[in-house]
Amino acid sequence: MPKIKEELDYDLVLDEPPKYRVLLHNDDYTTMDFVVMVLKNIFHKTLEQSEAIMLDVHKKGKGICGVYTYEIAQTKVEQVKTLAKQNKFPLLATYEEDV
């Protein structure tokens, strides 16, 4: 039986997964200090970054905490929800596709 050597030429193209922005939304009850703590602990922001995002939330109604893959964005939103509930704050985090 003859041996056949076959070469295949593939161009493998990997697409980047879609990214999602995680947003915090302003409310009348959550303290600014709590928002800063959330940004530092969950999103690993510096104090300066946390304060800047917190001011966006306060002044503009929402602020972008970061851009992540779907699973990570979903996890971050759930972590905010859990921590806010434990501390009796109505802080809302959402995610949306980053276009």
Q: Report how far residue 97's alpha carbon sits from residue 68's, in angstroms, rounded to the nearest whole number.
A: 10
| Structural domains of the chain, count | 1
Q: What angle do CA 84, 88, 92 make, to 5 degrees?
A: 40
Please report, for the domain that includes residue 89, its CATH number: 3.30.1390.10
**DSSP type of residue 69:** E
Residue 66 Rama label (left phi>0; alpha psi -120 to 50; beta): left
Residue with tokens 């939103």: 77
pLDDT at 2 over 90: no
Q: Is residue 78 part of a domain?
A: yes
**Residue 33 lies in domain:** 26-97
With CA atoms as reference, report the closest residue to 64 among 93, 26, 22. 22
Cα–Cα separations (whole angstroms), residue 28 to 16, 19, 44, 58, 94: 38, 30, 24, 9, 17
- Is residue 68 a part of any domain in this protein? yes
pLDDT confidence tier of residue 1, bands split at 50, 70 and 90? low
- Evaluate whether 79 touches 66 at the Cβ level (below 8 Å): no
Inside any domain, residue 90: yes
pLDDT tens string 13-72: 888 999 999 999 999 999 999 999 999 999 999 999 999 999 999 999 999 999 999 999
Instruction: Note whether residue 3 is domain-resident.
Output: no
* Residue 56: inside a domain: yes
